Amino acid sequence: MDIRTLCLGALSLGDATGYDIKKLFDEAFSHFFAAGYGSIYPALEKLAEEGKVAYDRQQQEKRPDRKVFRITATGREAFITELIDTPPREKLRSEFLVLMFFAHLLPPQRLAAVLQERLDESQRELAILEELARRELPAGMKFTIHYGQAITQAAIVCIKENQARLIRDVNATVNECNPSTLR
């Protein structure tokens, strides 16, 4: 599943400009799928070539023209087919965990700072999700928010419970690390 498909999904909710779609990525999709203008505009162009979306050009005074996109019948069908065929995968890419994995190579104060940064960031994400959770939304959308809250909360608890001990243990075992158990 790529950004083209997500754009189609965005348009299945109602007509929108590329700019509007970006906002959707930054809000409702933000905790499970990311995209910037540099992927969204080319995606919309390609979808238009394929006949999956169409658009009207709206002239505006003193602003650039807007291209208001809408999904076509073909596009809707393609989107639903794609949804049905997509296996429910999930992939985490965590630079934070890389840093933790190699915590023994990090200066102690950097380790502490990294843990704190991650904690702060997770708390910011949780606040955004809590804000989203207040809205009236269809069950599926609500579920994505609950799920995001659940895992973010779990991450926060895990960091809070372990950060002090981790910093202590890593300091205590400098250069005593024996990673042979991994192989």
Partner DNA sequence: TCGCTCATGTAACGTGTTACATGATTAA
Partner DNA sequence: TTAATCATGTAACACGTTACATGAGCGA
Residues that bind DNA (CB under 7 A): 2-4, 17-20, 23, 34-39, 41-45, 60, 62-67
Region 37-76 residues binding a second copy, contact defined as CB under 8 A: none
Among the listed residues 74, 56, 76, 60, the one whose alpha carbon sits nearest the alpha carbon of residue 7: 76
Closest CB 87 distance from a second copy, rounded Å = 7
Interacting span for a second copy (CB under 8 A) from 37-45, 50-58, 66-74, 87-95: 87-95
Give dist(CA 22, CA 150) in Å, integer. Answer: 25
Site for a second copy contains 148 (CB under 8 A): yes
Residues 53-68: b if buried by 16+ CB within 10 A, e if exposed: bbbeeeeeeeeeebbe
Which of a second copy, DNA, none does 79 bind, CB closer than 5 to 8 A by kind? a second copy
Question: Which residue's CB is nearer to DNA, number 64 or number 107?
Answer: 64
Q: Is residue 20 within the footprint of a second copy (CB under 8 A)?
A: yes
Question: CA-to-CA distance for 16 and 28, rounded, in angstroms?
Answer: 15
Structure tokens at 35: 């995209």
- Which CB atom, from 68 or from 99, has the smaller least distance to a second copy? 99
- Which tokens hold the place of 94? 């965590």
